[in-house]
Chain A
Amino acid sequence: MDISLINLIPLLMAASTPILLAGLGELVVEKSGVLNLGVEGMMITGAITGFMAAVATGSPTLGFLGGAAGGAALALVFGALTQGLMSNQVATGLALTLFGLGLSALLGQAFVGLKPPVTPDLPIPGLSQLPVIGPMFFDHDLMVYFSLFAVAAVWAFLRYSRPGLILRAVGENHAAAHALGYKVTRIRLMAILFGGAMAGLGGAYLSLVRVPQWTEGMTAGAGWIALALVVFAAWRPFPLLIGAYLFGGITVLQLNMQAAGVNVPVELLSMSPYLVTILVLVVMSAAGAAAGAPGSLGRPFHASR
């Protein structure tokens, strides 16, 4: 067997980044009391708009911005429908996934078989020279660092900042937040846009770095994994990070174990990412404080009521 952590960790981080980004966005959306089941649709839209932007401009950075914009644009549709027109969030979210899959297929017709510009690795000066640790943690592309930064930023925002407190208040009890004078709908719309942008980034990471090409339906359920992770992480950013890395890590590990010819039944290996991630996160949320779902999650809000 020839599986070393030095090989595994960078693969793990690359494999986990799309679901981590998308999950983090959805976490903020749900903290504001909105359930957006359209993560898969926003991801795939971000995958194609990001790919289009990168191919058109030749710049991976603009590509990622394009992906975020695409995801946010689709999220805006969701926001307008659920916050403006008070449509059912579950149904609208599901429709958004179907719409995103179709829209991306349409947009992507001319982009099949093209190659995107290469996203460069950005070794952190000094740190990446360290033996063992350097190539493991400090020799990645920009988006991997960004996703880790985003976890810390979202955590700090929700926990220590005043806007974060307001966002949580809106999610826990929108009537009370409204009575205090907060603009519930506006705050939720901003959260929805953020969620869409993050899902779009995750999608763009798939089409620009992880695969790297555009193929229809290439998210293949990653959005649903991200949604599930948010629940199992009990709406907390750091458990979400652990969940995403566990899932991505065990997926990569099981593929590596098969490739290395380790004699473990394949069935066991194939289901291990789901099994282990769920087990660990359930144990973690049982051991920690009873962090339930945001009180107003999924409930429509209208100021007159």
Chain B
Amino acid sequence: MATSLALAMGAATGALAQNGEPVKVGFVYVGPVNDGGWSQHHHEAAVKLKEHFGDAVELIEQESVPEGPDAERVLTQMALTGADIIFATSFGYMDQVESVAAKFPNVKFEHATGFKSGPNFANYSARFYEGRAVMGTIAGMMTETDKIGYLASFPIPEVIRGINSTYIHAKKVNPDVEIRVVWLNTWYDPAKEADATQALIEQGVDVVLAHTDSTAPLATLEKSGGYGFGQAADMAQYAPAPRLSSIIDDWAPYYEERVQAVMDGSWETAATWSGIADGMVGIGAFSDAMPEEVKAAAQEVMDSIVDGSYHPFTGPLNKQDGTPWLAEGEVADDGALAGMSFYLEGVTGEIPN
């Protein structure tokens, strides 16, 4: 009953959209829209989308939606209120999007950072590991204790790629470097992020990279000393120190393109994965706390990624246990990267299951 009702509604709104009625665009966020990081940047892209299309689109946003079963309720609710396209902006919504997409074939679903898809279910992500290559280079050169720290959220390929990319690029410029990974099992818990940053500092780490969503790590670094990076957002309020540079997510062009496709009736499922060259991953201004040679080295890595002459995962690279992964000169293919579930040689510790 609910399904047929939704079908009727979906068909109705589809028809209305062609008659000049606004396209309803739904956004689901894992954190609050003012977290200063990940969710805020998706929200800002949604606001830009609205500015771009004006009255032709109507936004439906839902913030602080936990990953897991509750997301299914929120997604269903959005589909029932007539959303034409829904962007689910966190990895942990993947199974819920899959299940809701099957129930509402006329609604388009877009899932960020996942790897599943379907006829009305596309996924999109950014090649953050390219940004991590630049940050890793900076971290490797800036550390004086030869220890860099990494706040990891959940053991998903996205995060593991970031750790690996950071480490191998830090190692390239500083052969003595060690990486200390702390798993937090959350995307957003400022107090825990702050405590973990403090713990890393106590263990002699002096450069911390974060794969969580708040600005708490930078606030802690500012208080206790050490360097860090903006994550998802520029976090320029912490420049020139502790924030050295940042990985900035720019989703707005993608959102505009996909909503335009819905308006034109040309939307098709896709698996989009864009990097620095396409502008989906932005690198924040290098701060003046970085010496010129560090800026130059970081710029060089970035330029070589943009012009395609260098791929961050280029062999020879071994897995953590020493077994070969990529031979000399071999470049990782997207399939292998999308499912990356192992550390590279030199990273210590174990990935939780």
Contact = CB atoms under 8 A, between A and B. Distances in A.
Q: Does B bind A?
A: yes
B180 A261 contact: yes
B191 A222 contact: yes
A114 B301 CA distance: 33
Contacts of B204: 2
A210 B181 contact: no
Contact of B191 (A112, A218, A260, A266): A218
B203 A113 contact: no
Interface in B197-220: 198-200, 202-205, 214-216, 219-220
A255 B219 contact: no
Interface stretch (B28-36, B79-87, B305-313): B28-36
Interface string A217-238: 1111110000000000000000
A216 B189 CA distance: 10
Given A259-B182, A259-B202, A263-B349, A213 B196 contact: no
B202 A11 contact: yes
A273 to B, nearest CB: 11
B349 A15 contact: no
A11 B220 CA distance: 13
Interface in A253-270: 255-256, 258-261, 263, 265-267, 270
A105 B149 CA distance: 31
Contacts of A115: 219, 222
B202 A220 contact: no
Q: Which of B192, B195, B200, B205 has the most C-beta atoms of chain A within 10 angstroms of its own C-beta?
A: B195
B3 interface: no
Interface in B102-136: none
A252 B349 CA distance: 18
Given A216-B32, A266-B183, A267-B353, A261 B190 contact: no
B352 interface: yes
A109 interface: yes
Contact of A213 (B186, B190, B202): B190
Nearest to A221: B189
B350 interface: yes
A215 interface: yes
A183 B191 CA distance: 40
B182 A258 contact: yes
Nearest to A217: B32
Contact of B180 (A211, A251, A259): A259
B99 interface: no
Contacts of B188: 217, 220
Q: Which of A118, A212, A215 has the most C-beta atoms of chain B within 10 angstroms of its own C-beta?
A: A215
A7 interface: yes
A144 interface: no
Contact of A11 (B192, B199, B222): B199
Given A2-B204, A220-B188, A261-B349, A215 B183 contact: no
B352 to A, nearest CB: 4
Interface residues of B, number: 42
Contacts of A260: 180, 203
B36 A261 contact: no
B32 to A, nearest CB: 4
Contacts of A11: 195, 198-199, 202
A255 B196 contact: yes
B77 interface: no
B183 A270 contact: yes
B136 to A, nearest CB: 18
B338 interface: no
B36 A259 contact: no
Nearest to A261: B348
A69 interface: no
A266 B155 CA distance: 11
B64 interface: yes
A135 to B, nearest CB: 13
Contacts of A215: 32, 34-36, 190, 214-216
B182 A255 contact: yes
Contacts of A105: 32, 34
Contacts of B219: 115, 211-213
Contacts of B182: 255, 258-259
A258 B183 contact: yes
A210 B191 contact: yes
B18 interface: no
Interface in B37-77: 64
A105 B349 CA distance: 38
B194 interface: yes
Given A213-B219, A220-B188, A270-B185, A259 B199 contact: yes
A220 B190 contact: yes
Contacts of A37: none
B199 A252 contact: yes
A226 to B, nearest CB: 13
B215 A266 contact: no
B189 A210 contact: no
Interface of B: 31-32, 34-36, 64, 149, 178, 180-183, 185-186, 188-192, 194-196, 198-200, 202-205, 214-216, 219-220, 222-223, 237, 348-350, 352-353
24 contacts: A3-B203, A11-B198, A11-B199, A105-B34, A112-B34, A113-B36, A115-B222, A213-B215, A213-B219, A215-B214, A217-B188, A220-B186, A220-B192, A251-B192, A255-B182, A256-B202, A258-B183, A259-B205, A261-B178, A261-B348, A266-B183, A266-B349, A266-B350, A267-B352
Across the A-B interface, give the 6 residue pairs with the lowest CB-CB distance, nearest first. A216-B32, A266-B352, A255-B199, A220-B189, A259-B203, A258-B182
